[in-house]
A and B are shown apart, each in its own frame.
Chain A
Amino acid sequence: MVIGSGTPMLELRGVSKRFGAVVALRDGELTLHPGSIHAVVGENGAGKSTLVKIMAGLYARDTGEFKLEGQPVEFRSTAESKAAGIAVIYQEPTLFPDLSVTENIFMGRQPVARFGMIDRAAMRAEVIELMTRLGVTIDPDRPTQGLSIADQQIIEIAKAISLDAKVLIMDEPTAALSGVEVDRLFAVARSLRDEGRALMFISHRFDEVFSLCDTITVMRDGSYVSTVATDQTSVPEIVRMMVGRDVNELFPKLEAPIGDVVLQVRGLTFPGRFADISFDVRAGEIVALAGLVGAGRSEVARAVFGVDPYTAGEVTLKGAPLPAGSPAAAMQAGIGFVPEDRRQQGLVLESGVATNITDAIRGDLVRGGVITRKAENAAAQEWALALEVKAAALDVKAGTLSGGNQQKVVLAKWLATRPALLIIDEPTRGIDVGTKSEVHRRMSELAVEGLAILMISSELPEVLGMADRVLVMREGRITAELSRAEATPETVMFAATHAAEEVSA
Chain B
Amino acid sequence: MTATTVGYREYGRPRWQRILLTREMAIVGLLLLTLLVAGLAIPYFADRLTVYNLLRDMFATLIIALPMALVMITGDIDISVGSMVGLSCSVLGLLFSMGVPFELSMVLVLLMGAAGGLLNGALVAKIGLPALAVTIGTMALFRGIAVGLLGTSTVTGFPQGWTDLTKYEIGYTGIPFIIVVFLVLFAVFVYLLNFTPFGRGIYALGLNSEAAVFSGVNRDRTRIILFVLAGTMSALGGIYWTLLRGTARGDIGDGLELQVIAAVVLGGVSVFGGIGALYGVVAGVLLIGALSSALRLVGVTAEVIKIITGVLLIGSVVAASMITSFQNRRKKVTAAPSQTSVAEPAPSGE
Contacts and interface: CB of A to CB of B under 8 A. Distances in A.
Q: Do A and B bind each other?
A: yes
Interface of A: 18-24, 44-45, 49-50, 221-222, 307, 327-328, 330-331, 337, 339, 344-351, 353-355, 358-360, 362-363, 365-366, 369-372, 377, 380-381, 384-386, 388-397, 399-402, 404-405, 413, 438
A386 B342 contact: no
B306 interface: no
Interface of B: 1, 3-4, 6-13, 191, 195-197, 199-201, 203-204, 207-208, 210-218, 274-275, 331, 333-346, 348, 350
Nearest to B343: A392
Chain A at the B interface: SS class: mixed
Given A327-B214, A393-B11, A393-B12, A385 B4 contact: yes
Contacts of B334: 19-20, 22, 400
Nearest to A330: B216
Nearest to A371: B195
Contacts of B207: 348-351
Nearest to A403: B339
A328 B218 contact: yes
Contacts of A372: 195
Contacts of A353: 8
Contact of B211 (A23, A347, A392): A347
Given A24-B336, A344-B211, A388 B345 contact: yes
Contacts of A370: 191, 195-196
Given A327-B215, A400-B338, 7 more contacts: A24-B337, A45-B337, A307-B214, A337-B214, A346-B211, A371-B199, A395-B13
Q: What are the 9 A-B residue pairs with the smallest beta carbon separation, nearest first?
A: A45-B339, A402-B339, A19-B333, A22-B337, A370-B195, A393-B12, A362-B197, A24-B337, A393-B9
Contact of A385 (B11, B212, B343, B346): B346
B8 A400 contact: no
A44 B210 contact: no
Contact of A392 (B214, B331, B338): B338
Nearest to B331: A400
Given A351-B203, A384-B8, A391-B8, A23 B216 contact: no
Nearest to A374: B10
Contacts of A339: 214
B225 to A, nearest CB: 15
B333 A385 contact: no
A353 B215 CA distance: 15
Given A20-B334, A385-B8, A395-B12, A360 B339 contact: no
A381 B8 contact: yes
21 contacts: A20-B333, A24-B336, A44-B339, A307-B213, A327-B213, A328-B218, A337-B214, A349-B207, A355-B200, A359-B212, A366-B196, A381-B10, A385-B7, A385-B346, A390-B343, A390-B344, A390-B345, A392-B12, A395-B12, A400-B334, A402-B338
A394 B10 contact: yes
Contacts of B196: 366, 369-371
A331 B4 CA distance: 29
A391 B141 CA distance: 52
Contacts of B348: 388, 438
B205 to A, nearest CB: 9
Contacts of A438: 348, 350
Nearest to A360: B215
Nearest to B275: A350
Given A22-B334, A328-B216, A331-B216, A359 B345 contact: no
B20 to A, nearest CB: 16
A388 B343 CA distance: 11
A93 to B, nearest CB: 21
Contacts of B341: 21-23, 392
A386 B334 CA distance: 26
A367 B201 CA distance: 17
Given A328-B216, A385-B345, A394 B333 contact: no
Contacts of A50: 336
Nearest to B346: A385
A370 B192 CA distance: 9
A419 B350 CA distance: 25
A339 B191 CA distance: 31
A45 to B, nearest CB: 3
Contacts of B9: 392-394
A307 B203 CA distance: 20
B86 to A, nearest CB: 36
Contacts of B6: 385
A388 B346 contact: yes
B342 A350 contact: no
Contact of B340 (A21, A222, A360): A222
Contacts of B210: 344-345
B89 to A, nearest CB: 36
B136 to A, nearest CB: 25
A386 B350 CA distance: 13
A22 B337 CA distance: 6
A344 B208 contact: yes
Contacts of A363: 197
A314 B11 CA distance: 45
